[in-house]
Each structure stands twice: as C-alpha cells, then as structure tokens.
A and B are shown apart, each in its own frame.
Chain A
Amino acid sequence: MLLEVNELRVSYGNIKALHGLDFQIDEGEIVCIIGANGAGKSTTLKAISRMVPVEAGTKMTFQGKDLLQYQPDKVVSKLGISHVPEGRRLFENLTVTENLMLATFARRDREQIALDIKRVFSIFPRLEERQTQKSGTLSGGEQQMLAVGRAYMSGRKVMLLDEPSMGLAPLLMMSMFEALKEINSQGTTILLVEQNARLALQFASRGYVLENGHMVLEGPSKELLENPDVKKAYLGG
C-alpha cells in the first residue's frame, strides 16, 4: 500500500467538511474521487498535502510513514507527493522556466533536474516554445500543462490533481489526460478529483464517490460507470 487514509476528518470552523474518510491507493494506480461541487474533493487533497489541518483520530500513512509528521513543504520535498491545485495557481509573475525551477527549490540533484525539465518539455512541447514567457500570458490549456509540469518537477511518487479538466476545450482535455497517462506509465501514482465523472472514470482504474463529506461508494471504474446510482447522479442518466 502506497497511501492509506483512515478516518480523515476536516472541519472549517463549525462546518464539518469530511466525516471520516477511508481510502487507499496502491503504487502505480490511477484513482479518482468523483462528487458534486462542495462534496469535499478538494479538501481531501489538501488534507493529504497538509494544507488544511485534520482532526484528532485521522490517520494517514505514506509508504509506512506517518504523513501527519510532515510539514506541507516536506510532504512535497521528502515524500514526493505533488499537488496540482484547483485553478492551477501559477506564479504569473514568473516565466515558464522559473515556475518549473521553483518547484525544484528543495532538490539538489542538478543533473536530474535538467533531465526532468527536458522530460516536461517533451511531454508538453508547447511549454518549451514559451519557456521565457511570463506564465500569466499563457492560454488556459498551456497554463494547465505548466501546472502539471510544475508538479512533475516538485516530486513525483504521487501526483494529486484537482480538476485537471476544468476550463479546457474537449480536445485539450483529451490530450491533457493522454499526458497524464504517460506520466503515470513512468511510475507516478495519480489521485485525481473531478466533477467530470465520466471522463475521470474512463481515465482511472478505480474510483471513489464522495457525497457531503462521506465516501458512499467505491469500486473499479467499470463497475461505477455501470452503477445505476452513479449513472443517475453523475453521468446524466
């Protein structure tokens, strides 16, 4: 087991966002969490990257290590868990290359960094063309590529992706998921959350369904795609 989460509880003030989630991810898998707006998908990812405090009783282990012992930056730099946040959140005042290099802040392996940058540019050739441009001037699709590329540079045992399809035209969406498949085939485990449930389930091998802070269903993607409740609630009948 790569990542094991038990009894994950998160509250914002008096509002309970997550009511004790259990899930686990194996090495090399692509897993998705689907659910409606406000179900707690983003919060789940933020809890793993330690960007929101979790309540007592929550247990998260990554490769046998207690995730809760790590500060947010160490989750990235020591454990290799990267996070593509909702809305991309690029540093628009920095160039494409600077965004990628910033993600290597804690790394000291210069040669490997150079290789990784090449790798990102081979997955997303558009970024290479725009490497000296400020990232704020990129198109929406290019920005999403850079957000994924940046996460790839920061650590790539696991990549957490928050709505990678958001704001992308269908064709771009498909090529983005192709790129993610390629990154996964190089050994990066992927956990993504999506409102676009059909797309996510076609891409992932397993899925969880999150409703109002509860995991209500889980299973292989094929089963979830056939499940009448899932069909009705998330796949438009």
Chain B
Amino acid sequence: MVFFQNLINALQWGSFYALIALGYSMVYSILMLFNFAHGDIFMVGAYIGFGVSTALVSLAAMGAFALPGWLILVLTIIISMFLTSFVGMIVERVGYRPLRDAPRASAAITGLMIGIILETGNLALLGAERVKFPSLIETTTYDLGGVFVTNKKIMIVLVSITLSFALHQFIRRTRWGMAMRAMAFDFAVVPLMGVPLNRMAALTFALGSALAAAAGILFGVAYPVLDPYMGILIGWKAFVAAILGGRGSVVGATLAGFLLGFIEMFVPMIFPSTLRDFIAYTIVLLILVFRPHGFFGEAYSARLRL
C-alpha cells in the first residue's frame, strides 16, 4: 500500500521535473547553452498563472461570465503558457543572443544573473509576502483499496504526459521540429538551409518557457503557496533530469524527470527522510558516472563553426 501511495506521489513530482527538464534539454541541445534561469522561468510562469487565474476568478465573481473552475484552470494554463513564452523569448533576446559567439562560461553566468534578476524583480514588484494560488477545483479523493489518489494528482500527471507527448510529436513531425533536430546535430550549417537561426532560438525558448509555465501552474494547484525562490531547487533538479535523459531527447528528459521523482519518493521508504536528497542524488551521480551521456543522448557533430 505504502508502495503504491509513494508511486502516486512520485508520478506527481516526476511530472514537475519532466516538464521543466524539457526546456533545459531543448535549449541545451539546440543552442549549446545551459539556461540556468530556467527554474526561475518556472517561478515566473507560476506567478503569471496566479495573476491570470486571479483575474479570471474576480471577473467571474463580478458576473462578467460564468465559468466552472476547471475551465478557468484550463484557460489559465493556456494563457499563461502563451504569456510566459514571451518571457522566455525576451530572456533569449536580451541575455543570450548577444553572447552567442562568446565563451560558453559567459552564457552560463548570464543565466545565473538573469535568474537572480527574475527572483529579486519579483520581490521588488510584489513584495516579500507570499501569494496564494486560487483554488480552482475541489479536491476529490478516490480510495483505490487503501491507496488514496486525488483528482488533482491525476490531472497533473495527465497534463504533463500530454504536453511532453505533444512536444515529441512537434519535434518529430513539423519542419520547425526538423530544423531543431538539425540544429542539435550541427548548429553552424543550419543557416545554409535557409533556416533563420534567431527565430529558431526564440522558438526554442518560447516552447521551453511555455512548458515551464505549465509546470508552475500545476505546482500551484498542488502546493498553492508561491514564493520568488520556489524555482531554484526544483530547477536544479530538473536540470539534473535533463542531463540524465540525454542530450536533446524529449523521451529521455521526460523519463528521467519521472525517475527522479521515483528515487526521491522511494528513498524515504528505506532511509530516514532527512537523508532523502542526499541519497537520491548520490544515486543520480552514480548513474552519470556510468552513463555520462545520459540515457538517450543523440549523436552530434562537435564542430561549432562552418
């Protein structure tokens, strides 16, 4: 019973990690860049979701329209993903594009700085008081023979798997996806195919940020109290999942996200829970020692210039 209960929780946390890891993974494979601000984009997405849902709820309360809570949640996810994609594109345009030919270390440091700016900018804008994500759907608990599952957990897992599948199809089947795969292999030659690099970079950031926003809202549904530093630890862990999944692999990042969730949830079954992350990430470290390229890393050309 405890096992299945943990399994449910692992799937929920895995969903957060997977959605955030996808953005890390895409940017890393396509632009050769660790976007260390990505965890903070998750945070910004959660706050935008907070803003959008609060606005929708108060509009509904004023009688502007009558919408059920679940529909407000769906609208919140869609609108916030859209808005947060612009945050990602701005970060790319302002922070990373000028550094495209700079040493990779400079770009990584830029990411850290953008992260701090997003955190403290939020603090400056909204103050230190924590905000509470509005409760849009009632929690219903199902008792599956002693294992308790809530409708929220089911929704979180389904939304995250659906989005990850959608991204996978996008990359497999569209010409933008094809260009992204080509960029992951050999960035420098792609302009010779008539592909505008800057637009592709913007698209990559937009997609990753939209997924991070979805994760942020799902997180807000499960854990409604938001704070400006909520993206740091979860962002680092998702970054680990992205590396574990293998360079540029959507399937890999998703599975690795869930794997992290599992390891984190199952370690406390055996060890004291204060040792959870210590043991969980020691396991991850050992996996990387034996599989330094992760699980599904695709081949790529090491040449950086034409």
Looking at the assembled complex, report how far the CB atom of B289 sits from the nearest CB atom of chain A, in whole angstroms: 26
Chain B, range 149-193, C-beta contacts under 8 Å to A = 175, 178-179, 181-182, 184-186, 188-189, 191-193
Assess whether B197 is interfacial by the CB under 8 Å rule: yes
Assess whether A46 is interfacial by the CB under 8 Å rule: yes
Assess whether B196 is interfacial by the CB under 8 Å rule: yes
Known A92-B185, A93-B299; contact A85-B192, beta-carbon cutoff 8 A? yes
Assess whether B300 is interfacial by the CB under 8 Å rule: yes
Q: Is the CB of B191 within 8 A of A91?
A: no
Q: Is the CB of B184 within 8 A of A93?
A: yes
Q: Is the CB of A91 within 8 A of B192?
A: no
Looking at the assembled complex, report how far the CB atom of A45 sits from the nearest CB atom of chain B, in whole angstroms: 10
Assess whether A117 is interfacial by the CB under 8 Å rule: no
> When each residue 83-102 of chain A gets 1 if its CB lies under 8 Å from chain B and 0 otherwise, what string results?
10100010111100010011
The CA of A102 and the CA of B185, in the complex, are separated in Å by 13
Complex A-B: 20 CB contacts under 8 Å: A51-B192, A71-B196, A73-B196, A89-B188, A91-B185, A91-B189, A92-B299, A93-B181, A93-B184, A93-B298, A93-B300, A94-B182, A102-B175, A102-B182, A103-B193, A103-B194, A105-B175, A136-B299, A151-B192, A154-B194
Looking at the assembled complex, report how far the CB atom of B182 sits from the nearest CB atom of chain A, in whole angstroms: 4
Q: Whose C-beta in chain A lies nearest to the C-beta of B196?
A: A73
B-side contacts of A72, CB under 8 Å = 191-192, 197
Q: Is the CB of A102 within 8 A of B299?
A: no
Assess whether A107 is interfacial by the CB under 8 Å rule: yes
The CA of A192 and the CA of B170, in the complex, are separated in Å by 37
* Contact residue among B193, B197, B299 (Cβ-Cβ distance under 8 Å from A154): B193
5 A-B pairs with least C-beta separation: A77-B194, A72-B191, A76-B194, A106-B194, A91-B182
Assess whether B71 is interfacial by the CB under 8 Å rule: no
Chain A, range 43-98, C-beta contacts under 8 Å to B = 46, 49, 51-52, 71-74, 76-77, 82-83, 85, 89, 91-94, 98
The CA of A102 and the CA of B195, in the complex, are separated in Å by 8
Known A85-B306, A94-B182; contact A101-B175, beta-carbon cutoff 8 A? yes
B-side contacts of A101, CB under 8 Å = 175, 178
* Contact residue among A83, A92, A94, A154 (Cβ-Cβ distance under 8 Å from B178): A94
Number of interface residues of B (CB under 8 A): 23
The CA of A72 and the CA of B179, in the complex, are separated in Å by 15
Assess whether B301 is interfacial by the CB under 8 Å rule: yes
A-side contacts of B306, CB under 8 Å = 46, 51-52, 85, 89
Assess whether A141 is interfacial by the CB under 8 Å rule: no
B-side contacts of A85, CB under 8 Å = 189, 192, 306
> When each residue 78-100 of chain B gets 1 if its CB lies under 8 Å from chain A and 0 otherwise, what string results?
00000000000000000000000
Looking at the assembled complex, report how far the CB atom of A117 sits from the nearest CB atom of chain B, in whole angstroms: 14
Known A89-B301, A136-B299; contact A102-B193, beta-carbon cutoff 8 A? yes
B-side contacts of A9, CB under 8 Å = none
- Of the listed residues B184, B188, B192, B300, the one surrounded by the most CB atoms of chain A closer than 10 A to its CB is B192
Known A51-B192, A93-B184; contact A73-B197, beta-carbon cutoff 8 A? yes
A-side contacts of B182, CB under 8 Å = 91, 93-94, 102
Q: Whose C-beta in chain B lies nearest to the C-beta of A151?
A: B192
The CA of A46 and the CA of B232, in the complex, are separated in Å by 42
Q: Is the CB of A105 within 8 A of B179?
A: yes
Q: Is the CB of B301 within 8 A of A76?
A: no
Q: Is the CB of A89 within 8 A of B189?
A: yes
Looking at the assembled complex, report how far the CB atom of B25 sits from the nearest CB atom of chain A, in whole angstroms: 15
Looking at the assembled complex, report how far the CB atom of A99 sits from the nearest CB atom of chain B, in whole angstroms: 8
B-side contacts of A74, CB under 8 Å = 194, 196
Q: Whose C-beta in chain A lies nearest to the C-beta of B182?
A: A91
The CA of A161 and the CA of B227, in the complex, are separated in Å by 56
A-side contacts of B195, CB under 8 Å = 73, 102, 105-106
Assess whether A206 is interfacial by the CB under 8 Å rule: no
The CA of A155 and the CA of B193, in the complex, are separated in Å by 9
Q: Is the CB of B196 within 8 A of A92?
A: no
The CA of A76 and the CA of B194, in the complex, are separated in Å by 5
The CA of A158 and the CA of B60, in the complex, are separated in Å by 61
Known A102-B179, A105-B175, A105-B179; contact A89-B193, beta-carbon cutoff 8 A? no
- Of the listed residues B175, B179, B194, B195, the one surrounded by the most CB atoms of chain A closer than 10 A to its CB is B194
Assess whether A41 is interfacial by the CB under 8 Å rule: no
A-side contacts of B303, CB under 8 Å = 89
Q: Is the CB of A73 within 8 A of B298?
A: no
Q: Is the CB of B299 within 8 A of A83?
A: no
